[in-house]
Structure 1
Amino acid sequence: MTTLKNKIFDHDTDVDITHKINTMELDNWINHLKYIKKELVNLIAIYNKELNDKLDGDGVVERFEKKQNENNILLNALMEYHNTRANIIECEDTECDMVYITEHESYRRSYLYHLDKYRRLKDEFFNKIRGQFTLLKIS
């Protein structure tokens, strides 16, 4: 959906506004998951290059790789869902609209759950490596 389609007008119904806001939210989720995808590539590379010997056997890289797979699955699901939302304009009754709204709520819960788990994993990683780096003091 284009930006023009997402612009909220005075004559829009509450349901139209809800669909437009949900579409904007979905676009943000997709962009965020794309960023997380890049970030996971970098975190895995940092671990493999710099920390593999220092944090040997703690399973961090495996957990990042698992999270990378989960992120890809959710990203693909959200992109497919985004494509199906083009059919919203064909809804002619409240029941049809509610199907889309309910589906969006389900994806929202999945996204927030994924985000929470990812943040916890990343926090745990940074807590473990905090003592592994020495900062250079510049005089």
Structure 2
Amino acid sequence: MKTLNTTIYNHDTDVDITHKINTMELDNWINHLKYIKKELVNLIGITSKDLKNKFNDDTVVERFQKKEGENETLLNALQKYATSRSNIIECEDMDCDMIYITEHESYRRSYLYHLDKYRRLKDEFFNKVQGKFTLLDAN
């Protein structure tokens, strides 16, 4: 895959700069989702083995597993989208550029929504864990 050159030059147009910034942002999203993928493997391992008996609740593991699938789906979509962005250099008019910019905004919303839901799930998990450990320490 030929990636878009992300070096910003003085002679770049506003649209060129937007495409370059979007490419950098997309790379960041993909790297973040790869990290979340590793983190979910660890969280699933912890909840399915070490903490399963303390929670008496299989939904924690199931929710992390569901999120793992959603993360993989979004990661695959963003990687496919990154490949398709190599055609940006072929754009010769503003309509073509706007298709890519609009598509990027759609992926941005999907990524931010996914990230928000994942953070909420993790916060809920850590609140439960903290509550369990606090209850255990109190006895």
TM-score by length of 2: 0.92
How many residue pairs get aligned? The number is: 132
Which residue number corresponds to residue 70 of structure 2? 70
The RMSD of aligned alpha carbons is: 1.1
Which residue number corresponds to residue 43 of structure 1? 43
Q: Give the Cα separation in 1 of the matches to 2:9 and 2:35.
A: 31
1:28 aligns with 2:28: yes
SS of 2:57's partner is coil
SS of 1:54's partner is helix
Q: CA deviation at 1:56?
A: 1.2
Contiguous gaps of at least 5 residues in structure 2: 135-139
TM-score by length of 1: 0.92
Structure number with higher helix proportion: 2
5 Å-filtered alignment, 1:49-64, equals 49-57=49-57, 59-64=59-64
SS of 1:42's partner is helix
5 Å-filtered alignment, 1:104-123, equals 104-123=104-123
Among all aligned residue pairs of Structure 1 and Structure 2, give the percentage whose two residues are the same amino acid.
Answer: 74
What letter is aligned with 1:57? D
What letter is aligned with 2:60? V
Q: CA deviation at 1:49?
A: 1.8
Q: After the TM superposition, which segments of 4 or more aligned residues of structure 1 sit over 4 Å from their partners? A: none
What letter is aligned with 2:122? K
Q: Which has the higher contact order (CA 8 A, sep 6+)?
A: 2
Q: CA deviation at 1:37?
A: 0.2
What letter is aligned with 1:92? E
